[in-house]
Structure 1
């Protein structure tokens, strides 16, 4: 069988095992450019041209290199509808590393010259929002967002460990935010809430806090897409909450697989761009183990082939993640220590620790096996080497876009 690895695939053969492969329902694919323009013709709420006057300052927040969003296509479709105004593009990095000039040109084409990498140290406060219970959370964003007459965004509505589905206001308030909102929403109290779950939007306190922050910032309009196993499934435009609800429903139909069984080993594919760093690649395992249905038997293992061209990762969050795992003596001690709190960005170490309490995590085919071994995980040269002969194995070719349960 073939599993994703970087921008290509890797051959996996498990002749001594009982293997079951997940097949997603999928759906009819669309041309994202055509779908984006159709969505703009029929938005949720006011049409984009009616929101903006000539001469206004408009900031479009786009996703970064960790998302496979067709940002050039989405930006082009929105700018076609705008009057003569002053447009800036802000790359929503959150606490990830800046994108290089080459990456910006690849992602944004002719619009790369309008782009600025977000710097969380430059964020300014625009207000506070209610978090869980009576908590008040400060909302700080980049000046290009805070000072704009209008804030627009692109996004990918895909399964997300915390938000249920990504996209909507999250591109702006997390991508263009600083450690205040990121630290709160990604903190142990929120992430351990039972309704903070992969695929869940309604009643999810992470998503609700992010949406309220979007209101405080003034995110008026977004243009998002969603995708399935064979390509893009649709686009939606307009008010962020409605866009996420719309595309999440489309995604669920294409990505949900009923499953009650458990297995000795689960092999989850990730591929580019997520498998460039250990920080992102571990999503494959945590999405599987901490989703609606954990398919791994007690004491089993989850195996993820990942190139890890950037090792653990180079951004602030990635470095914090790496240091937490590298200095931990066990998953249990790390989990207990992090329940008391941690710096923004380190949350992925907390979630990995939660998953490690359920199963062993393996990374194969990587360029940095020593980094993997430093971080409480196991490394192997090939997937075949990480699976014990005679195992019952579930293969999930697209672990980040599969909803089991």
Structure 2
């Protein structure tokens, strides 16, 4: 069968193995421009017409190139509504929600945001401006004795200066399965994508990530998602236009207040992406493809999504195989460099996990979560342009998928591991 690799595909043939393919139901793709306009006509909460006024300074936070969000189309729809409300184009700033990822190049900005490229600025977390704090008690941490570590006022909420000073904050976003938030999108585009290091350090630290309820595909009762939503009430967005997608493309669009938008699109995503798993396998082949397989930091999501989701499909001692192109190696942003430093300097997955449990810098959380998986399972990365980096990061590099799987194995192939929810059969009904 064919699996994604970069912008193309590779042929995978495992004739000596018993192979099962996890294909989610998918769903019918929508016409995104038309669906965006329909969503804006029927928002979940007050419309842009009731929020935007002539003379307003407006910030629109958009996703970066690691997300497959059709930002140019969503910007068309949002800016059209702002124009109708009397907002001048010159009063709009578009902020790329990078978090701790590398800045986009001018060429990437032009390709991703089209005619609006001249309005775009890269977010710099070092320049973030404080807009308030979340009290530890509100953040669910008072009973854990962490107020002293966070400061008397709690967790500082900092965002890009253009966002902090805006009269109205809008955001695009992709509501897709997320390792910590359950599903991405909503307030996450602003408070993490355009946020400062203190917030990212807190939300991605070992204490919060280790709490019950922080898991792939879960929104209700998820402390990580709850914190993002509370931070969004301080920092924005006031209004978001989000999409969700499946194997066939964009499946749904919703607009309005962040919380109901995420919940509506998460329901659409679950229906399209869930695959029940009723037994355990020797190996799971986890497809990624562009843009997530540009670097190891992003591609490693495939392994953690498989092992740490609703239903772990692996037998004890099993392996995860991830074909990934990795033209950027480990990655070029601050988080990516910290990821590489922790893993490449670790003597073992156990050693990395135990050291990181005492704390780490923002961006390194991907190493912490990956180390958790590597304590139990081997991870192989195949077909990459950076095999030495893979090996340095406590994983195994092989030339092909077939080279990474022992003959006679019982194999589950997940062609799109980032956008497939492996679930317990009892929860798939």
- Which TM-score bucket, shorter chain as reference? over 0.9
1:267-282 equivalence runs, <5 A = 267-282=285-300
1:13-92 equivalence runs, <5 A = 13-82=13-82, 83-85=86-88, 86-92=91-97
Match of 1:402 in 2: 420
* 1:318 to 2:336 alignment: yes
Match of 2:151 in 1: none
1:353-364 equivalence runs, <5 A = 353-364=371-382
Aligned length: 405
Counterpart CA distance in 2 for 1:179 and 1:117 is: 15
How far 1:358 sits from its partner (Å)? 1.9
Tell me if the contact between 2:286 and 2:416 (Cα under 8 Å) persists in the aligned partners.
yes
Match of 2:107 in 1: 102
Deviations 1:107-159 (A, max 9, x none): 10000110000001100111011323225211011100000111000000000
Deviations 1:211-254 (A, max 9, x none): 10000113210000000111110100000000000000000000
How far 1:29 sits from its partner (Å)? 1.1
Tell me if the contact between 1:225 and 1:247 (Cα under 8 Å) persists in the aligned partners.
yes
* 1:205 to 2:223 alignment: yes
1:153-164 equivalence runs, <5 A = 153-164=171-182
* 1:93 to 2:111 alignment: no
Counterpart CA distance in 2 for 1:260 and 1:203 is: 25
How far 1:23 sits from its partner (Å)? 1.4
* 1:298 to 2:303 alignment: no
How far 1:258 sits from its partner (Å)? 1.1
Tell me if the contact between 1:289 and 1:358 (Cα under 8 Å) persists in the aligned partners.
no
Tell me if the contact between 2:3 and 2:12 (Cα under 8 Å) persists in the aligned partners.
yes
* 1:120 to 2:125 alignment: yes
Counterpart CA distance in 1 for 2:55 and 2:270 is: 40
Q: Bigger CA drift: 151-160 or 213-222?
A: 213-222
Q: Tell me how large the CA RMSD over aligned residues is.
A: 0.8
Counterpart CA distance in 1 for 2:37 and 2:182 is: 26
How far 1:22 sits from its partner (Å)? 0.7
Tell me if the contact between 2:274 and 2:420 (Cα under 8 Å) persists in the aligned partners.
yes
Counterpart CA distance in 2 for 1:4 and 1:33 is: 26
Counterpart CA distance in 2 for 1:73 and 1:371 is: 36
Tell me if the contact between 1:267 and 1:304 (Cα under 8 Å) persists in the aligned partners.
yes
Match of 1:287 in 2: 305
Counterpart CA distance in 2 for 1:116 and 1:78 is: 17
Match of 2:195 in 1: 177
Match of 1:253 in 2: 271
How far 1:327 sits from its partner (Å)? 0.1
TM-score (norm 2): 0.94
Secondary structure at the aligned position of 2:238 is classed as strand
* 1:234 to 2:252 alignment: yes
Counterpart CA distance in 1 for 2:402 and 2:180 is: 31
How far 1:84 sits from its partner (Å)? 2.5
Runs of 4+ in 1 over 6 A off after TM superposition: none
Tell me if the contact between 2:52 and 2:87 (Cα under 8 Å) persists in the aligned partners.
no
Counterpart CA distance in 2 for 1:326 and 1:9 is: 29
Aligned partner of 1:328 among 335, 346, 369: 346
Tell me if the contact between 1:163 and 1:196 (Cα under 8 Å) persists in the aligned partners.
yes
Counterpart CA distance in 1 for 2:2 and 2:272 is: 21
Tell me if the contact between 1:47 and 1:238 (Cα under 8 Å) persists in the aligned partners.
yes
Deviations 1:299-353 (A, max 9, x none): 1100000000000000000000000000000001111111110000000000000
Counterpart CA distance in 1 for 2:235 and 2:125 is: 15
Counterpart CA distance in 1 for 2:387 and 2:23 is: 30
Match of 1:350 in 2: 368
Counterpart CA distance in 2 for 1:178 and 1:241 is: 22
Counterpart CA distance in 1 for 2:334 and 2:140 is: 26
TM-score (norm 1): 0.99
Counterpart CA distance in 2 for 1:18 and 1:218 is: 49
